[in-house]
Structures are given as C-alpha cells and as structure tokens.
Structure 1
C-alpha cells in the first residue's frame, strides 16, 4: 500500500478526523480546493485544527501527516529492514552545507 492510500484509508485510525481528500487550507467547494483561490492567496482560509487533517492544500500533506509518513518510513512499515537513524548521529556533512547532528 502506498503512503497516500495508507493515510487515506487509515486516517481515522491514525488520529485524523477530517476527510483525507478535503484540503485544510483552500478556497471552498466540496474539497476546499479552487485552482484560482489556492492556500495563501487572499480569500483562502485554513481550517481551525490542521492536525486533524491529512491534506493541507490539495498538493501537500499537513505537518501531522508528514510526521506519520516520516515515522513509518524510518521505523516501518515502509522500510525493510528498518532504517537505523543512529547511523546519522554525530556524522559530519560531506558537502559542507549542512551541519552535523
């Protein structure tokens, strides 16, 4: 099962109460999405509780949904074997652009 399907199908079990296909931030209509009134533009409106939604603006997940995606990629079920985050701790960056943890 892909991540989008996972969040859509299991949204209620993961703590989301808003519909997975309705945008938290947008411009109205049945999916709170209007191509000419996208999130951030004058007249768009964000929902009161973004943490209860999967979909932020029809193109991006909410912070809460991304948190679950990251956890499930790093800890499973979307990585086999499980990702070992300790391999990143204390390592210097190779490109000089990013600081070490």
Structure 2
C-alpha cells in the first residue's frame, strides 16, 4: 500500500477524488502534507507553482523546516536568517540559483 512521503500515512481509496498528489519523482504526498509544504514555500515568498516539480526529498525538507519558515520580523537579524534559510534550500535543490538570488536581493532591499 502506498504511503505519504511526509507523514507516512497509508492512502485510502476514495474513488474518483484523490487524497494524494504525485510529485516529480513519482512519489506521493497527502493533501495535508502538500498544503503544509505549499505554506512553507509561501511563507518564504516563493511561488507555490514550483511544488509540482519538487521531489520527495525536497518536500520532506520543506516539511521538516516548515516551523522555521514562518514569516519573521523584518529586523536585520531576521532578514539575515531568511537569507541563510534560502541558502539551505538552494543547496538542497529546492531553489535554483536564480530564485535564491532574486529572494536574497528582495530581502537585502529591505535593510
């Protein structure tokens, strides 16, 4: 039986309506974990349209770091923390170099 790569819960067969979403590497995520990962992306001011191209590893990283990616106070230290988190997402392959650079510049402009 297939399981969600986020919460490891088995998927229920609900007929026509799907309770899972396929990722780029042909693994699946439940609706709840998918929503949580999209919120993590949105909290980092990244378009959620890239979600469908994420792999299981990338979604797990988003879920693991979702508490860390809540919108922060826009102080200098908060901005530097966000840049560091974006760097980690770039290293793990969730963000491209261009996306990282764009987000970094947006944050630096706020200083």
Structure 2 length-normalised TM: 0.25
Whose Rg is larger? 1
Which one has a larger percent helix, Structure 1 or Structure 2? 2
